[in-house]
Each structure stands twice: as C-alpha cells, then as structure tokens.
Structure 1
Amino acid sequence: MLDALSTKEQRQGTNTFTPYQLPRQRLTPSSTEPPAPGQTTSLATPQNAEITESTPKPPEKKHVGLKAPVAVKKLDGFISHLNRVIHTRDGHDSVILFAAYVAQLAAAILETSGNANLRKWANKVVALVPKALASRVPSLPLGSKLFSLFSAAPRLQLRLAERLRALVDMLDDWSVMSRLWGLLTMWMLAKGFITTPNTDDKEPRVRKVKTAISATQIVSLIGFFVLENVAWLSRRKVLAWSDKSQPKLILWCVRSWGVYVFAELGRLLFERVRKRRAEAGQGDAEARTQWNKQFVENLAWAPLTVHWTTPGGLLPESVAALLASYAQFISVQGLWKEAAETAETA
C-alpha cells in the first residue's frame, strides 16, 4: 500500500508518511557414454610382409559438471525469484518499500536501545566476575579488549543507525520517483470507472454501494498522487511552492491516502457480509485466506494514517515502523507467490 514518511522530514519536525503502493489491477549437465575404442583386426598376410595394426583410440573423458553446494543453489534460487518479482512494477515498489521500512525499524531500535541498555548489560556481565578477578581483568589482554569493545559499542550502534537513516532517505526518494507516473494509472482507472458500467451485480443497492466505494477510492488516490508529486517536486525546486506549504501538502496527501485505506476496509467488510449470506458457510478456503491477508494489511495501515496526520504522532517510531514493515511484508509475500506460480506455468 503506501510507503513510510520521509525520514528527512521527520528530522525537520514534520510528519513523515509511507508512500502508497498502487493497487494491483485485476483485469491482471548430462554426461554421455564415450564411444567404443577402435578394435585391431588380424588379417592373413604373406611372410615377411609388414603388418600395420590400428592403434586403439583413447577413451573420451566424461565431462562432469561441477556440483554447486546446496547453500549456493538456494541462494541462486532466491536471487532468481527476486529478480522475477522486481521486474514487475508492483513488485519493484513493494520490495523498495519493504526494505525502507525494515531499515527504519532497525534504525529506530538501535537509537532507542542507546547507551543505557548496553551499559546495564555490560554491568551485569562484570558483576558475574569474581571480585578477586575483576580487579585484574583490565590488565589482561582479553579483558582490555572487552572493555574497549563495551565503550566503543554505543558509538558503533549510533553510527550504524545513522547509516540506516541515510539508506531510508535514499529509498524514500526512489519510491516517490517511481510513483511520479501514478497519475497516468489513475487516469486509466477513472476512465474505466466512467465508461464501463457495473453490470455484475443485479441488486441496485449493491451497485450503488460498490460505485460509491470505487469513486471514493479513485478520488482519494488522485488527490494523493497530485499532492505528493507537488510536494516532492517543490522540495527538489522543480516547482515553486514554498517550504512552508510543503508540510501542509504532505499532511493532506496522507489524509487522502487514509481515506483510501478506510474505504478499502469498508469494501472488504461489505464483500465479506455479502458472501456469507450467499454462500451460507460454504465459501472457498483460498478466497477466505486472501481476504484475511488484505484485511490485516489494511488494518495495519489504518492506525498509521492517523499517526502520521497527528502533530507529534501517536505511536513510537519503532511501533509505527513495525506495523508498516508487517503490512508491506504481506504485500511482498503475495507478489512472491504470484511470481512463483507464473514461473511454474511458464
């Protein structure tokens, strides 16, 4: 769905948000035996005549392919499958967003744990050492290394968190740039919504509800893409919107995405109620599993839309990053399965 707020804007005091992922359209060595060596033939010849015998050909060597270790085969399979996933637009965006959320979560954990927890852990370790030995530990070569490691670990921890923050910034810009074409997709969805009437449902009430939900989602996503593009291009000095107006654009951008998320939750609940009445408990297990995944994914995004539109936020950064990582993991998991099924049928 949507990716996380830019970390840069968090450090500037503005609410960061998870950029949205476009909804997927559902329209959507062997060895051979060596030849037998040449055989010598014995012919009747006159005495004192020279006899020439054919020498046997040396047997051809079998070319045995190198057997790769199991770990290498598994790594090759993973990379090949990942390559198939990122060569689709949905897969490309999902993998980038998932990597950004995981990096943000790791950075938040590293910064939250800080020096205090590490010092407590080091003090507990030192407390286990007998007092007679504790006084001699710093003078021992290994002891001096351990103490220097304890003193350097907090600095390394914060330095790693800083590197992860820089990675999040890069992935955030990457994901926003990949969504600059999102308005073209929304144009096609809006055109299909207007020109293609809903004839699948015979009940007028059902058609009205579905039409209202679809219209709400399309309008909210159009607003999301327009506001995000304007804010990002203004930050890059392509457009002339002031720095003061950019936080407001981002705020309304996230609100637009929040409207889509809650509309999607409403659509899923409406479909669930209708199917339960029609099927009377005889539903497809695979369809129920897919519905559960979509519902949990949007349910994880819902509190984040409120968190990112509230001054100061409602959740700790680590909790928000964990929810975003889990929601995006569900999306990547579905795309991973689809790529596997496509590879099997190809």
Structure 2
Amino acid sequence: MGKLIFQDLQAKMDHLIRLLSTTSGADKSFMLLQYSAIILRHLASRSKNPTSNKSLVLRLAALSKLLSDARTTYRLWDLISIIQWLRSLNALPPSGSNTVQIERLQVISMLIYYPLEHLYFLASKGVLPLSSRLINKAALYSCRAWAAYTLLHFFHLWEELKLLEPERRRLQALQAGTDFDTPRKPNPAIATSLQEMEGRRAAIINGLVVNLAYTPLTLHWSLPKGLYGSELITGICGFVAAIAQLRAGWNASAVTP
C-alpha cells in the first residue's frame, strides 16, 4: 500500500516537473503566485489593523511586481512564435473557413500587442529613451490590442464548438446504438474517438473560462481611467485565468498510457 502511494506521488511529481519545465507552465505558475499576492495584499490592507500589516502589504506588492516583470521579460521572445503562427496560416491553402479568418485577425492583434508591450516595458526600465507620455500610450494601446484578441477568441471558441458538436453527437448516437433498430455492442474505436471529442470539448470550455477571466483585465487596462477601482477584481480574474491555464497545461503534459 505504502509503495503504491509513493509511486503515485512520484508520478505526480514527474508530471509537475514536466509542466513547470515548459515556458507556458513556468509562466502560469508565476502568474498564479503574482495574482495570489495581489489578493493577499488587498485583504491585508483592508484588515481591522492595516497599520500593523503595512510591512506585509509592501512585501506582497514587491512580490507581485517582481513576478509581473519576470513574466514580461519571458514574453520578449513571444513575438517569434506569433510570426511562426502567421507563417503557418499563410502556408494553408485558400479557404473561407471562419476559424482561419479569425486567427488571421488574432495574429494581427498580437503583432500590435507584443512590439508595444516590449517598447513600454523596456522604456519603463530605462533601456529605451522614451518619455512617460509615450510609455503610457504604448502600454494603453498594447492592452487594447490584447483586448481585441480576447474578443476575437470568443468567436474562435464558438467556431471550434460548432465544428465539434455535430461529430460528437453523431458518435454518441453510434455508441448508444440509437441509429439502429437494435442495440449494438459498444465499439472500442468509437469509444476512443468519443473520448477524444469529449476532451476537446472540455478544452474549449476551459478556454472559455480563461477568456472570461481575461476580459475584465484587458478592458480595465485598455481604458485611461480603468474599468473598476478595486485591485481585488484584478487579483481574482488573474487567479482564475492562471488556474484554468495550469489545468490545461497539466492535461497537455500528461503521459498517454
């Protein structure tokens, strides 16, 4: 019994290492810590005796800022993956697919987002000689491009679901034998395909959760005066987005038996 528990723990540890060894897994783990620190900072500052928590509030603020800077530094190379994404779309044969057209628009939004983010981040650190006004404008318009991507992603998820659902329902009907006069024995091949379809559907729903969490953040940072006044909203939305993306990464890094 103890040996089985140890093996299970070892397997989970190996799985966690695989997840955190990826760029996305490391980023989302930092993101989880970053937004957790924001939530804790807000709660500490709103306690009955905020003066005694002042040191804790400052340390949590420093931690969230450090993690934010680390994540932004990691993203300095992300523009390369966007260019690769554009090349892969351009390599596709001409198509009227809504999904492909939406992805093209998403690529355009990211080609605006990343250079502006790199510009304002490097300038804010004194690497590039830009005025505060230009730094703020670059930050604002980069977030607006991100907001456009987030809006487009709702349509992308909807198109994915539209393509998936008819085939999933057809396989469900075949597996249940409802397309025949008499019940049939379950088909292992159909069961495997249906399981794959269910996994893809779950991934789409998880993607919707991520997008819903990102929407208030992107809108808030896209407006000169913001969308809301409480940093707790920022913390909760970022926390939810991080958890959902870590869940997706965990599933993606699982070893197939």
Give ranges in structure 2 of 5+ residues lacking alignment. Answer: 173-193
Q: Which one of 271, 296, 299 corresponds to residue 160 of structure 2?
A: 271
Q: Which moved more, 1:173-182 or 1:209-218?
A: 209-218
TM-score (norm 1): 0.60
Q: Which moved more, 1:229-238 or 1:308-317?
A: 308-317
Q: Which one of 21, 26, 33 corresponds to residue 92 of structure 1?
A: 26
Bigger fraction of residues in helix: 2
Greater than 3 Å deviation, 4+ residue runs: 76-82, 274-284
Give the fraction of aligned pairs with identical amino acids, expressed as a percent. 24
Are the equivalent residues in 2 in contact too, given 1:213–1:267 (CA < 8 A)?
yes
Matches within 5 A, 1:1-346: 74=9, 80-115=14-49, 154-197=50-93, 204=96, 207=97, 209-277=98-166, 279-280=168-169, 282=172, 284-315=197-228, 316-339=230-253, 341-342=254-255, 345=257
Are the equivalent residues in 1 in contact too, given 2:168–2:198 (CA < 8 A)?
no
Are the equivalent residues in 1 in contact too, given 2:99–2:160 (CA < 8 A)?
no
In structure 1, C-alpha distance between the alignment counterparts of 2:147 and 2:74, rounded to whole Å? 20
How far 1:300 sits from its partner (Å)?
Answer: 1.5
CA distance 1:333–1:280, change in 2 (3 Å): closer
How far 1:278 sits from its partner (Å)?
Answer: 5.2
How far 1:114 sits from its partner (Å)?
Answer: 4.7
CA distance 1:259–1:245, change in 2 (3 Å): same
Q: Could you say what secondary structure the match of 1:244 adopts?
A: helix
- Cα RMSD, aligned residues only: 2.5
In structure 2, C-alpha distance between the alignment counterparts of 1:293 and 1:155, rounded to whole Å? 40
In structure 1, C-alpha distance between the alignment counterparts of 2:200 and 2:16, rounded to whole Å? 25
Q: Which moved more, 1:187-196 or 1:161-170?
A: 187-196
How far 1:181 sits from its partner (Å)?
Answer: 0.6
In structure 1, C-alpha distance between the alignment counterparts of 2:69 and 2:52, rounded to whole Å? 26
- C-alpha distance after superposition, 1:172-192 (max 9, x if no partner): 111111011111111211111
Are the equivalent residues in 2 in contact too, given 1:114–1:158 (CA < 8 A)?
no
How far 1:254 sits from its partner (Å)?
Answer: 0.6
TM-score (norm 2): 0.79
- C-alpha distance after superposition, 1:291-325 (max 9, x if no partner): 11111111111122112222332232102210110
Aligned to 2:176: none
How far 1:82 sits from its partner (Å)?
Answer: 3.2
How far 1:195 sits from its partner (Å)?
Answer: 2.2
Paired residues, what number? 229
CA distance 1:278–1:84, change in 2 (3 Å): closer
Aligned residue type for 2:250:
W
Aligned to 1:47: none
